[in-house]
Amino acid sequence: MATAAETAEGLAALSIDKGQPEANDVDGSSDEGDAQDNVQGSGAVAKKKKKKNKKKSKKKKGAAGQTADLTVPVSQLFPNNSYPEGEICEYRDDNNYRTTSEEMRAKDRLNESQLVDLRRAAEVHREVRQNVRERIRPGMDLTTIAEAIENGTRALVEASGMSSGIGFPTGLSINHCAAHFTPNAGDHVVIQDDDVLKVDFGVHVNGHIIDSAFTMAWNGRYDPLLSAVKDATNTGVREAGIDVRLCDIGAAIQEVMESYEIELDGKTIPIKPIRNLNGHNIAPYRIHSGKSVPIIDNGDATRMEEGELFAIETFGSTGEGHVDEEGPCSHYALTGSTTRPVHLESARKLRQTIARNFGTLPFCRRYLDRLGESRYFLPLKLLVDSDIVTAYPPLCDVKGSYTAQLEHTFILRPTVKEVLSRGDDY
């Protein structure tokens, strides 16, 4: 195994002097939410201990005290569980009383440790993404990027057994592929100049998962597509709250997304929400826990509830606005039933390995490889065919189309909504 430092250095080395421009960072037209005063982004907390990484000429961009090769655990940068809060949003209308209600404050205090875990995971997410965003460039292969994100996550969250670590495989989906692509061993996918790359990764502390994603492109022609998903996701996050109907969030997202268009090769193309992709609620060690947050008005009158943790993710597309499963599967997760008998010895052992190392958290083939597993293809297929493991193949719109994504995780605390994954980047 390469160490985090080795991999991050490899990543840096690959990206140096390629003459590539930095990826575009587009600002959506109505996303003033990302400049909130109460956002304590990783850059906000200054003057902790500083280690190496002191190039005087270069402007310092990393979190105070984090190294260029992602080696300092966030627990060291924020002692005594003092992790930054996310963006705090007061509830509106009938729920506005909650902010000051003594009863709600008391309820809030009961969930303190969960909140600390989530804020620690969110800080890891911000620091890792800040680091890799500066380095990802055309010419790099996806395995290098995935390993930099994953090793960075492991180092910053102090990955340890089932107590803390990676929340799910790093999604690195390109162009018409919207989600759930990560390289398997032997895949050599290299980013091209005109690609649109979705970077979706997760961090967990005691099973409390932060799920957040962003999109990178190096050709400015995609700016409206990137703005569309940023605006749409911020709209969904703003609309969300206790007792809010999922379909109303979907309708608000749809309206914003469909207000954008993009010109490609002299043709004006409407940007569509990908109607069969959804946000979701999250439970401990369960990346999706029953509720789906639509990005169109699908008529689902189910409501969000107090205490729930949600990921809102919106996907815009220049294609059909519909994804199908396409290409080699890499993502898998144990479904839960641990009692079902498996008769093939190798499959029984593999289920044990998965259960011990990932529990019900999603994993990918590369994670089995690094545990020293080999020849697991048929046993894994058997577990999938017996519904013990769920397969999550890549999800792609029509060939030739371009898709973008932006995703945030927030919690509906009894007193306020907290957008945990908010940073000064997005």
Task: Determine the Cα–Cα distance for residues 22 and 24; give it in Å rounded to an integer.
Answer: 6
- Binding positions for Mn ion, 162-201, rule CB under 5 A: 200
CB of 291 to ligand HZT, least distance (A): 8
Instruction: At 355, list the tokens.
Output: 């259960």
Q: Are 412 and 99 in contact (CB under 8 A)?
A: no
Q: Are 217 and 196 in contact (CB under 8 A)?
A: yes
350 binds ligand HZT, rule: CB under 6 A: no
Q: Are strands 272-273 and 363-364 parallel, antiparallel or unpaired?
A: unpaired
- 407 catalytic? Reply is yes
- 117 catalytic? Reply is no
25 is in an annotated binding site: no
Q: Which does 98 bind (CB under 5 to 8 A by kind): ligand HZT, Mn ion, none?
A: none
C-beta nearest to ligand HZT: residue? 362
Q: How far apart are the first and last CA of the chain?
A: 32
313 is in an annotated binding site: yes
214 binds ligand HZT, rule: CB under 6 A: no
- Binder of Mn ion out of 87, 147, 211, 231 (CB under 5 A): 211
- Binding positions for ligand HZT, 308-337, rule CB under 6 A: 311, 313, 331
Rg of the chain, C-alpha, whole Å: 21
Continuous H helices in 136-266: 142-157, 223-239, 246-257
408 is in an annotated binding site: no
331 is in an annotated binding site: no
- Binder of ligand HZT out of 72, 89, 166, 287 (CB under 6 A): 287
CB of 115 to ligand HZT, least distance (A): 21
Host H or E run for residue 9: helix 4-15
171 binds ligand HZT, rule: CB under 6 A: yes
Instruction: At 32, list the tokens.
Output: 């003033």
Instruction: At 291, list the tokens.
Output: 């509720």
343 is in an annotated binding site: no
* Beta-carbon contacts of residue 145 (< 8 Å; ≥ 6 apart): 11, 132, 136, 170, 172, 199
Tokens 């402007």 locate to 59
Secondary structure (3-state) at 169? strand
Query: Residues comprising the binding site for a divalent metal cation?
Result: 200, 211, 280, 313, 407
Query: Residues comprising the binding site for substrate?
Result: 180, 288
Binding-site ranges for ligand HZT (CB under 6 A)? 168-169, 171, 179, 200, 211, 278, 280, 287-288, 292, 311, 313, 331, 362, 392
Query: Residues comprising the binding site?
Result: 180, 200, 211, 280, 288, 313, 407
User: Known catalytic residues?
Assistant: 200, 211, 280, 288, 313, 407
